[in-house]
Amino acid sequence: MHSCYDLTEATSLVTSAMPRHDDLEDITTTVGRAAWEIEVRVVDSAGRDLPRGTAGELRCRGFNVMSGYWEEPEATAEAITAEGSLRTGDVSVMDGHGFIRIVDRLKDVVIVGGFNVYPAEVEHILGEHPDVESIAVVGVPDERLSEATAAFVVPRPNADLDVEEFRTWAAGRIAGFRAPRHVMLVEVLPRNAGMKVVKNEQRARAREFDPGGSGSGREKT
């Protein structure tokens, strides 16, 4: 068993966990530690290093990082810092031994009343409901909290999932500010060729919710 992390702009491994060397728990719950001659950091929005165990953006620097996007200097400046570090856009946590856990995409983070909510974590917890086949959580404007979470839920085949029952169940498993303010039952989630949920489409749909209310319901067919 092997775990690792890489992205196109870093052209090869960024982090890696190795079988027969690292513990099974570290291999299965993280993407490993910095690969050979690669520097990784977890930083805040100002680029300052964060304490171990604190979520922030993962940045990497080394021979693997691209020089830039072809004939796109502005996009390059957004992706690469002055010292040559790649802004990965991934929210990560580094533990005391240097192992990295990917939490979410930075652009997907929802700020509810000043608190960061990571949709991937909410999806993981609420996806454990026995009648839920898949779930996507996005941010939606909220008059009181600036943002709130909205959940689009695909029930399992033949399941009679009740929205209010689901909200009550969720309230017992997740902090109030992280719980979905809006819940919509849908037949399918929009996905790209890589089978990842297209969050932009979900955000566009979420804007239809009343920013001052608590919405729920089922997709009209």
Short-list 78, 91, 84, 116, CA closest to 31: 91
pLDDT tens per residue, range 126-155 = 999 999 999 999 999 988 899 999 999 999
| Residue that terminates a domain, selected from 106, 128, 149 | 106
Instruction: Indicate if 46 and 65 belong to the same structural domain.
Output: yes
Instruction: Indicate if 137 and 205 belong to the same structural domain.
Output: yes
Instruction: Indicate if 138 and 168 belong to the same structural domain.
Output: yes
What CATH number is given to the structural domain containing 168? 3.30.300.30
Instruction: Indicate if 113 and 211 belong to the same structural domain.
Output: yes
Instruction: Indicate if 126 and 206 belong to the same structural domain.
Output: yes
Q: What is the pLDDT of residue 207?
A: 79
pLDDT tens per residue, range 158-215 = 999 999 999 999 999 999 999 999 999 999 999 999 898 999 999 888 877 766 666 6
pLDDT tens per residue, range 67-109 = 999 999 999 999 999 999 999 999 999 999 999 999 999 999 9
- Residue 94 pairs with which residues in a beta bridge? 100
**Distance of alpha carbon 143 from alpha carbon 117, whole angstroms:** 17
pTM (2 d.p.): 0.82
Q: Is 141 exposed, middle or buried (0-12, 13-18, 19+ CB in 10 A)?
A: middle
Domain count, the chain: 2
Instruction: Indicate if 82 and 19 belong to the same structural domain.
Output: yes
- Which segments of the chain does DSSP mark as H helices, in order? 24-29, 73-79, 119-126, 163-171, 199-206
**Distance of alpha carbon 81 from alpha carbon 59, whole angstroms:** 9
Instruction: Indicate if 13 and 94 belong to the same structural domain.
Output: yes
Domain hosting residue 175, numbered range: 109-218
